[in-house]
Amino acid sequence: MSLFDLLPETKGLLSKDILLNSITLNSLDVQKGDLFISIVDSKELQKKYIKEAITRGAAAVLTGIDIVHNSKVPVIFKQDLKQSLGNLSDAFYKSPSKELITFGITGTNGKSSIANYLFQLKNNNGEKTGLISNISSKNSYFSKLTTPDIFSLNKIFSLALQEKKKSLIFEVSSHAIHQKRIEGINFNYGCFSSFSRDHIDYHGSIKEYAKVKESFFKENSFDSALINIDSTIGKRIFRDNKNFISLSSNQSNSDIFLDYKIEGSIIHTPWQKAFIPKNIFAKHIMMNLAASMGLYYLSKETGKLVDIDFKNLSGLPGRLEEIKIPFNQSCYIDYAHTPSALKESLSSLKNKHEGNLICIFGCGGDRDKGKRSLMGEIASLIANQIIITSDNPRSEDPKKISLDILKGIKNSENIDIILNRTKAIKNGLNLLRKSKKDSVLIVAGKGHETYQEISGKLIKQNDLEIIRGFK
């Protein structure tokens, strides 16, 4: 598309038209012939980013700050630029989401797993489906952000169409909803996975966080959506939308519900029921499977239903993933980094194992400080031994973070603070080796991630490799 076609108002500003290859909001992603859009509010940063973009070959620049730029490349000012991003993206990529069956999955916990299970269900049954994920895989479209910006999103939609995909699944974060990153996307099916405390540092309060999540279902039109009604906000979203279906872990009058039993759990749906393999023991993982099953059936034609066999599905790396160790005990890594997620994982392991439960975890720096004591309290109530360590301290002092966690722990026995995460994991494994039969260690917080954020740098840190290398 040309610049004149995208922005007709530029015809009176420029002497000749410019052919655009692509559009990006990140100056470091600019390639020759791209339009770079600068939405930063700082004039100094804008100058820096525009210079980077031009150096990398930008054909033109669009900016929301009207300042003079001495450049051979046209730098165009557009008023209310941030509010126009959705329309610009739709115009450039020609609304590709309208040509695909689109699934948007939001909620506090479970988004990635539900998206991954649904992706497998559809492809395993012959439906060419795409998945946007921040977990790198040859079978998905990788994004550094949970939800890409609107231009990256539409670019992926266009690529999915070129690759003859019929559907596309992606996670919708609260940041993306609030920042209007999904503006103009056409959704066919939605999902509300769960709700609990998270991102208070960004949204200011759990009430505001809830409002943002709820707005996803108010501001978009869905053929249908699957809503977990185990929270107040979930009940409200479901109540306000007659074409939605409900999911619950404890309410048998829900459209989809989990019949949770130690000897074997069953998912009940309006279409059929499914038995969960006995190797899957965590209730929250069963709920993620139930949600994916519900979304799969919602999007199917009634006459073409197939039986679902969960044995053919694999979980995401780092989601309560068991790691083999060189002695006869159990060890897991998990991505749990919120109070509710930590509680779910610890409770599941406590129910499964009769021995000691050892928990290694920390809390992120420069983020919600209020959850630190909550996570400390949860760990102390469920685990037998705790090791508090570092987990992305960013610009904060890891020791201060650990002291915040300690505020929630009433009984300080069987608690160690080892801020070096590698040493903490090795110490936890030594404790596990000496523990009584059928004990278990969980290393929580990082899951699949292979780095720590410390003082503005990404430092290599791979929990999985440390555990596997333990002798």
Q: Tell me the C-alpha distance between 69 and 128, whole Å.
A: 47
Q: Is residue 308 part of a domain?
A: yes
Question: Hey, what are 142's tokens?
Answer: 């990788």
Rounded to whole angstroms, the Cα distance separating 253 from 255 reads 7
Residue entry with tokens 């994920």: 133
pLDDT at position 405 is: 98
Q: What would the pLDDT profile of 210-257 be if each residue is shown by its tens digit? A: 999 999 999 999 999 999 999 999 999 999 999 999 999 999 999 999
Mean per-residue pLDDT over the chain, rounded: 96
Helix and strand numbers, DSSP H then E, in the chain: 15, 22
pLDDT tier at 305, thresholds 50, 70, 90 = confident
Q: Which residues pair with 120 in a beta bridge?
A: none
Q: Answer yes or no: is 88 within a domain.
A: no
Residues 113 and 221 in one domain: yes
Domain membership of residue 367 (yes or no) is yes
CB 421 within 8 A of CB 312: no
Residue-wise DSSP of 189-205: EEEE----S--HHHHSS
In tens, the pLDDT along 79-136 reads 999 999 999 999 999 999 999 999 999 999 999 999 999 999 999 999 999 999 999 8
At residue 443, what are phi and psi to the nearest 5 degrees? -105, 105
Residues 45 and 111 in one domain: no
224 and 338 in a single domain? The answer is: no
Query: How many domains are contained in the chain?
Result: 3
Tokens of 259: 């019949």
CATH number of domain containing 270: 3.40.1190.10
Task: Please give the pLDDT value at position 469.
Answer: 96
First vs last C-alpha separation in the chain = 59
Residues 303 and 327 in one domain: no
Q: Domain check: are 257 and 178 in the same one?
A: yes
Residue 68 and residue 122 in one domain: no
Say whether both 206 and 226 belong to one domain.
yes
- pLDDT score, position 303: 67
- Given a contact cutoff of 8 angstroms between Cβ atoms, the answer to whether 17 and 42 are in contact is no
Rounded Cα gap, residues 401 and 363, in angstroms:
7
- Residue whose C-alpha is closest to residue 281's, from 194, 230, 329, 353: 353
Single-letter residue type at 306 = V
| pLDDT tens, position by position, 153-189 | 999 999 999 999 999 999 999 999 999 999 999 999 9
Domain boundary among 50, 79, 108: 79
Beta-bridge partners for 331: 441
Could you list the residue range(s) of the whole structural domain that residue 13 is in? 3-79
Domain assignment present for 61? yes
409 inside domain = yes
Q: Where a domain ends, among 262, 284, 312?
A: 312
Question: Same domain, yes or no, for 122 and 256?
Answer: yes
Query: Residues 381-406: pLDDT tens digits?
Result: 999 999 999 999 999 999 999 999 99
- Continuous H helices in 386-453: 398-406, 421-434
- Asked if 355 and 437 touch (Cβ cutoff 8 Å), the reply is yes
Range from 142-156, 291-305, 341-355, 435-449 carrying the lowest mean pLDDT: 291-305
The SS3 call for residue 414 is coil
Residue at 91 is within a domain:
no
Spatial CA neighbour of 292 closest among 142, 437, 169, 441 = 169
Angle, helices 398-406/370-382, rounded to nearest 10 degrees: 60
Answer yes or no: do 166 and 284 share one domain.
yes
pLDDT band at 356 (very low <50, low <70, confident <90, very high): very high
In angstroms, the CA 307 to CA 230 distance is 26
List the CATH number of the domain containing 453.
3.90.190.20
- pLDDT in the model for residue 389: 98
Element (H, E) at 441: strand 440-444
Do 223 and 184 lie in one domain? The reply is yes
Q: Quick one: tokens of 101?
A: 């069956």
Domain CATH for 60: 3.40.1390.10
Which helix (H) or strand (E) element contains residue 159? helix 150-162
φ/ψ (deg, to 5) at 153: -60, -50
Question: Considering 258, 290, 312, which residue would you say is the last residue of a domain?
Answer: 312
282 and 388, same domain (yes or no)? no
* Strands lying side by side in the sheet with 385-388: 321-322, 330-334, 440-444, 357-361, 385-388, 415-417
Tokens 């070129």 found at: 162
Same domain, 196 and 105: yes
Within a domain: 144: yes
pLDDT average, residue stretch 407-429 = 95
How far are the Cα atoms of 114, 333, 351, 357 from residue 442, in angstroms, in the given order? 22, 6, 14, 8
Helix (H, G, I), strand (E, B) or coil at 306: coil
The values of phi and psi at residue 91, to 5°, are -65, -45
87: in domain: no
DSSP, collapsed to helix, strand or coil, labels residue 406 as helix
Q: What's the one-letter identity of residue 58? A: A
- Residue 410 above 90 pLDDT? no
